[in-house]
Amino acid sequence: MKGADLNNVIVYSSCGPIKGVWETSSLDYKYAAFYDIPYAKPPLGPLRFKDPEPLETWPNILDATESPPYTYESQVLDEDCLKLNVYSKNVENPCSPQPVMVFITGGFFIRSPSHKGIVGPDYLLQKDVILITFKYRCGALGFLSSDDPEIGIPGNAGLKDQVILLRWVQENIAAFGGDPHNVTIFGFSAGGCSIHYHMISPLSKGLFQKAIIMSASAFYVRGFMPKLGWAVRLARYLGWRGEDNEEALAFDFLRGVNIADIKDKEEEILTAQDRQNGLPSVYGPTLEAYRSRMTMIIEPPEEMMKNAWSYGIPLMIGGTLNEGLLFYGDAKNNPDVWENINQTPSTIVPYNLTQDPDKRKVFGDKMKLFYFGNDDATVADINTYIDLMGDTSYWYSVYRALMGRLKYQEVTIKAPTWLYHFSFNSPEWYKYRVAIPASGYPGVAHADDTLFLLSNYSGFGVPKRGTREYDMMQLMVRIYTSFATNGDPNNELLAKSIGKWTSVSASQPLICCNIDSTPEMLELPE
User: In sequence order, what DSSP letters do the residues of 205-265 get, joined into one string?
Assistant: TTS-SEEEEES--TTSTTSS---S-HHHHHHHHTT----TT-HHHHHHHHHTS-HHHHHHH
DSSP 347: G
Identify whether the C-beta of residue 211 lies closer than 8 Å to the C-beta of residue 480.
no
Identify whether the C-beta of residue 341 lies closer than 8 Å to the C-beta of residue 443.
no
CA 420/CA 393 separation, integer angstroms: 17
In terms of Cα–Cα distance, which of 336, 106, 314, 135 is closest to 221?
A: 106
Q: Which segments of the chain belong to CATH 3.40.50.1820?
A: 8-226+282-310, 319-523
Length in residues, the chain: 526
Q: How far is residue 444 from each of residues 320, 433, 463, measured CA to CA in Å? A: 6, 9, 17
Is residue 377 classed as helix, strand or coil in its secondary structure? coil
Element (H, E) at 395: none
In terms of Cα–Cα distance, which of 160, 148, 163 is closest to 207?
A: 163
CATH code for the structural domain at 319-523: 3.40.50.1820
For 52-89, give one letter per residue: b (16+ CB within 10 A) or e.
beebeeeeeebebbebeeeeeebbbebbebbbbbbbbb
Model confidence, pTM: 0.96
CA 394/CA 297 separation, integer angstroms: 21
For the chain, the maximum distance between any two Cα atoms, rounded to a whole number of angstroms, is 74
Question: If you classify domain 8-226+282-310 with CATH, what class do you get?
Answer: alpha beta
In terms of Cα–Cα distance, which of 305, 299, 284 is closest to 158?
A: 284
Q: What is the pLDDT of residue 311?
A: 96
DSSP 425: -
Identify whether the C-beta of residue 256 lies closer than 8 Å to the C-beta of residue 269.
no
Identify whether the C-beta of residue 148 lies closer than 8 Å to the C-beta of residue 247.
yes
Where residue 30 falls (left for φ over 0; alpha for ψ -120 to 50; beta otherwise) is beta
Q: How far is residue 10 from each of residues 92, 179, 397, 460, measured CA to CA in Å? A: 10, 18, 43, 33
CA 151/CA 132 separation, integer angstroms: 33
The burial class, CB within 10 Å (0-12 / 13-18 / 19+), for 113 is middle
Element (H, E) at 71: none
CA 171/CA 14 separation, integer angstroms: 7
Q: What is the pLDDT of residue 438?
A: 53
Identify whether the C-beta of residue 119 lies closer than 8 Å to the C-beta of residue 133.
yes
The pLDDT tens digits along the chain (526 residues) read 544 478 999 999 999 999 999 999 999 999 999 999 999 999 999 999 999 999 999 999 999 999 988 766 666 778 999 999 999 999 988 789 999 999 999 999 998 888 888 899 999 999 999 999 999 999 999 999 999 999 999 999 999 999 999 999 999 999 999 999 999 999 999 999 999 999 999 999 999 999 999 999 999 999 999 999 999 999 999 999 999 999 999 999 999 999 999 999 999 999 988 988 889 999 999 999 999 999 999 999 999 999 999 999 999 999 999 999 989 888 988 999 999 999 999 999 998 888 899 999 999 999 999 999 999 999 999 999 999 999 999 999 999 999 999 999 876 678 999 999 999 998 877 765 655 555 567 889 999 999 999 988 777 788 999 999 999 999 999 999 999 999 999 999 999 999 999 999 887 789 999 999 999 999 987 6
CA 130/CA 174 separation, integer angstroms: 11
CA 388/CA 26 separation, integer angstroms: 39
Residue 453 CB coordination number (10 Å): 23
Element (H, E) at 497: helix 492-498
CA 207/CA 169 separation, integer angstroms: 8
The CA R_g of the chain, rounded to the nearest whole Å, is 23
Element (H, E) at 420: strand 417-422
Question: What interhelical angle do 357-372 and 335-343 show, nearest 10?
Answer: 110
Strands 511-515 and 315-320: unpaired
CA 187/CA 317 separation, integer angstroms: 10
Q: What is the pLDDT of residue 210?
A: 99
Catalytic sites, residue numbers: 189, 323, 446
Identify whether the C-beta of residue 340 lies closer than 8 Å to the C-beta of residue 348.
yes
In terms of Cα–Cα distance, which of 405, 428, 400 is closest to 418?
A: 405
CA 383/CA 76 separation, integer angstroms: 34
In terms of Cα–Cα distance, which of 66, 86, 69 is closest to 77?
A: 69
Q: What is the pLDDT of residue 336?
A: 92
